[in-house]
């Protein structure tokens, strides 16, 4: 999958006479709704390619950093998928190319018509645009479906609106998935994401307190990824250097502040069950399978250790019910 991080780079990497089928959006999570947009975009690209007798790529225009970082001034937006993970999932979904545009205040103030002319027409040479049911772009979100169709008629591209994807009684969206995660309902996101919610990060040195308790933990530098609420979780751990087909490891994980020892910043610490290797410095992917309990302040270290033993058994039982699929 071709990845360009500027307009100039995209132009340099593609033939001057190339045309594309495009979709636009932040695509945080690359959830089932996003996958449907990609499927329709690929379908439009294939149909256009048949008509023209040549390959027409399916392209996503996305943004980095997340727009809320700029528009709302949020320093650490709660992401479902930071850019590297998002690009990995987009490639698996079958896109041919992604144009990652730097999102700035200037871009936030760009009128929809100017964005369409500069990006879709002059840069991508888009023949087809696929958008979601609630999509809008440009200053004041003026570039809605109706406006885009009018622009398409005058500038020479077709616009297709994809209807919402509904799972059970829920309309799939990034905001809905965040709501479930913030509520601790990590199991509920699996049918929406087609996988468990996960966090990538490097194992860093922590307080090493777990080792003295008989439950050594790996402290994960989790960056800007959304964490579920404070508590204990049954999780699967993948060591990314071992490759995507390496079997995941059972683990129990604490999202917490260590209140029994005086509290502090929120940390993400995982105890890999029945594992004795050294994880320091490795990059891992932690998948949240099930919430075991809320964070507790224990009266004594002995009470904490006893509860950790119970958590380990509860995690094993939960992971038997939620095998290490779907992880990707």
Strand pairing category for 170-171 and 166-167: antiparallel
Enumerate the β-bridge partners of residue 294.
231
Helices (H), the chain: 7-13, 32-52, 67-71, 83-92, 105-108, 112-115, 145-155, 174-182, 190-193, 209-212, 301-321
Both tokens of 236, joined, read: 């699967």
CA distances (Å), 309 to each of 56, 116, 253, 261, in order? 56, 58, 13, 18
Which phi and psi angles does 303 have, rounded to 5°? -65, -40
Among the options 36, 91, 153, 269, which is catalytic?
269
Using omega within 30 degrees of 0 as the cis cutoff, is the peptide bond preceding 134 cis?
Answer: no
Annotated catalytic, 269? yes
Cα-Cα-Cα-Cα dihedral sign, residues 190, 194, 196, 200: negative
End-to-end CA distance of the chain: 17
Which residues are catalytically annotated?
Answer: 269
């Amino acid at each position: 999958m071709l990845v360009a991080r500027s307009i100039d780079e995209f132009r340099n990497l593609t033939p001057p006479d190339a045309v594309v089928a495009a979709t636009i959006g932040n695509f945080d999570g690359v959830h089932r709704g996003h996958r449907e947009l990609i499927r329709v975009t690929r379908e439009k690209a294939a149909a256009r390619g048949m008509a023209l007798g040549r390959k027409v790529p399916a392209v996503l225009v996305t943004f980095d950093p997340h727009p809320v970082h700029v528009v709302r001034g949020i320093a650490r937006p709660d992401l479902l998928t930071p850019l590297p993970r998002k690009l990995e999932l987009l490639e698996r979904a079958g896109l041919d190319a992604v144009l990652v545009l730097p999102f700035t205040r200037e871009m936030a103030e760009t009128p929809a018509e100017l964005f369409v002319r500069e990006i879709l027409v002059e840069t991508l040479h888009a023949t087809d645009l696929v958008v979601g049911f609630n999509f809008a772009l440009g200053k004041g979100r003026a570039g809605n479906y109706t406006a885009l169709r009018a622009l398409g008629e005058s500038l020479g591209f077709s616009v297709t609106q994809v209807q919402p994807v509904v799972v059970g009684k829920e309309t799939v969206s990034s905001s809905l998935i965040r709501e479930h995660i913030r509520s601790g309902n990590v199991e509920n996101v699996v049918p929406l994401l087609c996988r468990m919610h996960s966090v990538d990060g490097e194992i860093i040195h922590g307080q090493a307190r777990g080792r003295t308790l008989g439950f050594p933990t790996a402290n994960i530098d989790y960056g800007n990824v959304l964490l579920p609420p404070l508590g204990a979780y049954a999780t699967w751990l993948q060591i990314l250097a071992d490759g995507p087909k390496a079997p995941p490891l059972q683990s129990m994980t604490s999202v917490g502040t260590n209140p029994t020892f005086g509290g502090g910043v929120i940390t993400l610490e995982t105890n890999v069950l029945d594992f004795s290797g050294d994880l320091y410095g490795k990059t891992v992917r932690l998948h949240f399978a099930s919430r075991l309990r809320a964070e507790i302040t224990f009266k004594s270290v002995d009470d904490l250790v006893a509860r950790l033993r119970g958590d380990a058994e509860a995690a094993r039982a939960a992971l038997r019910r939620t095998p290490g699929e779907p992880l990707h």
